[in-house]
Amino acid sequence: MRAAPTILHLDMDAFFAAAEQAAKPSLRGKPVVVGGLGPRGVVATASYEARRFGVHSAMPMAQARRLAPNAAYLVPRFTLYRAVSDQVMELLRRLSPLVEPLSLDEAFVDLEAGEAGGTARDAATARATGERLRADIRAVTGLTGSVGLAGSKMLAKIASEQAKPDGLVLIEPGTERELLGPMSVRILPGVGPATGEHLRRAGMTTVADLAEAGEDELVRLLGKAHGASLYRMALGHDDRPVVAERDAKSVSVEDTFDVDLHDRVRVRLEVERLADRCVRRLRGAGRSGRTVVLKVRRYDFSTLTRSETLRGPTDDPAVVREAAARLLESVDTTGGVRLLGVGVTGLADYTQEDLFAQAALVEAPAGAQGDAAPEPQEPAAGAGAGGGEGGEPGAAEDAGGERRWMAGQDVRHAEYGPGWVQGSGVGRVTVRFEEPGSPPGRVRTFRTDDPDLELSDPLPLVAGEAAVERAPSP
């Protein structure tokens, strides 16, 4: 534990939904839900307006629609979120060389690091740094973030949760036990539903209960490592350092299907499609990998994983496709498949081609391997990407060749300019033409195959107070 609250935790407020509200003027101050739009989709993020109806992350999308039928339901746009996240992380790196990103919208910062002793040394300078950061984030992105400051990572994260939304909470060193005592045991890292229920049965529901029980009792209940760690945290002790450059250990993609897949040929095609998407993401990160992993969730929700380690790292789509297909052969898909995933682990910054696999490709009949086939399209809504656990969606084609558009996608019309898909169906797509910084735009409807309408890249958000001032009151 530090003697000063110089560990900062930043958590952006309802990040995906807030970014969508900033990008779409007509949605500001209104309930917005981002996630998979298919029947089996799940909520990724809900705006605070939507949370008033009981909608929250990880909730089935069907349940969210029942709770908030008038909310805007949008597919995620990770290109936009990554761009905004890069801006936020750059602001954090100006404070300290020790920044530990946890996700696109969350990170720890060690304010004591740096050649001159860092940007904070006591409670007053730490608070000033935190307030300045919040102001800078709003000025650069137009969004808000909540900041927690404390002498440890655990307490800084607890503080940022208390600060939500759009606030700052500082926990003075020496007050930890008094603060933690009445809180639920679930507030502590590593205490999930199962551990929480185990402790409840033993009569421990608050952090104070854990501290009073003592280390020996917790070790008896939870084992030596977990019990001893939990006891230290109950006393407010957490010496974990802020670690910069949390390097990704794997790259993966997965899709949930609206209807269970029973056709073995279709299952294999989906696995190959996922393998190609995984390799595109792998190459985008400038990496290669040695181990291919297949994930299959069956009709009864049982989840199987299989892996195969190659002779060396690769980013060859044909090699990953074939490895994933071999892994599929060892999985029983009788009864149906609801989710498929393909990942690559054992990442490296170079590629050592699998010469045996490459030789097999050369010897294969023309057209038998992926290199001779056209690039596969992303799955259409209702056939994969719309299910809520896959990658970024596109305007895919259905079985009849008709383009299918999904709510929230960026589009551009040759005559009307930039806009976003508000909805589609029965051969029509409805588009609202507006952009960040503009007044709420007009809505127009087109045929789904209109040649003047095409997908486009997200427009950058409008930074500063202007974006916030234009937001209507809820």
Tokens at 80, concatenated: 């936009």
User: Measured between alpha carbons, how far is 243 from 240 in angstroms, rounded to an integer?
Assistant: 9
User: Measured between alpha carbons, how far is 113 from 1 in angstroms, rounded to an integer?
Assistant: 16
Q: Is the Cβ–Cβ distance between 140 and 194 less than 8 Å?
A: no
Tokens at 63, concatenated: 């349940």
Using DSSP bridges, classify how beta strands 32-35 and 337-348 pair: parallel, antiparallel or unpaired: unpaired
Measured in Å, how far apart are the chain's first and last C-alpha atoms?
Answer: 42
Distance between alpha carbon 49 and the CA centroid of its chain, in Å? 20
Q: Is the Cβ–Cβ distance between 31 and 50 less than 8 Å?
A: yes
Residue 220 identity:
R
Q: Is the Cβ–Cβ distance between 160 and 149 less than 8 Å?
A: no
The side-by-side arrangement of strands in the sheet containing 168-170 is: 99-103, 106-110, 7-12, 145-150, 168-170
Q: Is 106 an active-site residue?
A: yes
User: Measured between alpha carbons, how far is 42 from 34 in angstroms, rounded to an integer?
Assistant: 9
Query: Using the 8-state DSSP alphabet, how is residue 278 labeled?
Result: H
Q: Is the Cβ–Cβ distance between 21 and 13 less than 8 Å?
A: no
Query: 3-state class of 365 per DSSP?
Result: coil
Among residues 49, 100, 106, 272, which one is catalytic? 106
User: Measured between alpha carbons, how far is 275 from 252 in angstroms, rounded to an integer?
Assistant: 9
Strand partners, 433: 442
Helix axes 78-95, 123-141, angle to 10 degrees: 150
Cis omega (within 30 of 0) for bond into 241: no
List, in order, residues 6 or more apart from 210 with CB less than 8 Å away: 185, 188, 199, 204, 218, 230, 231, 234
Residue 303 half-sphere exposure, CB side, CA atoms within 13 Å? 8
User: Measured between alpha carbons, how far is 340 from 337 in angstroms, rounded to an integer?
Assistant: 7
- Secondary structure of 206-225 in the HEC alphabet? EHHHHHHHCHHHHHHHHCHH
Distance between alpha carbon 194 and the CA centroid of its chain, in Å? 24
- Catalytic positions are 106
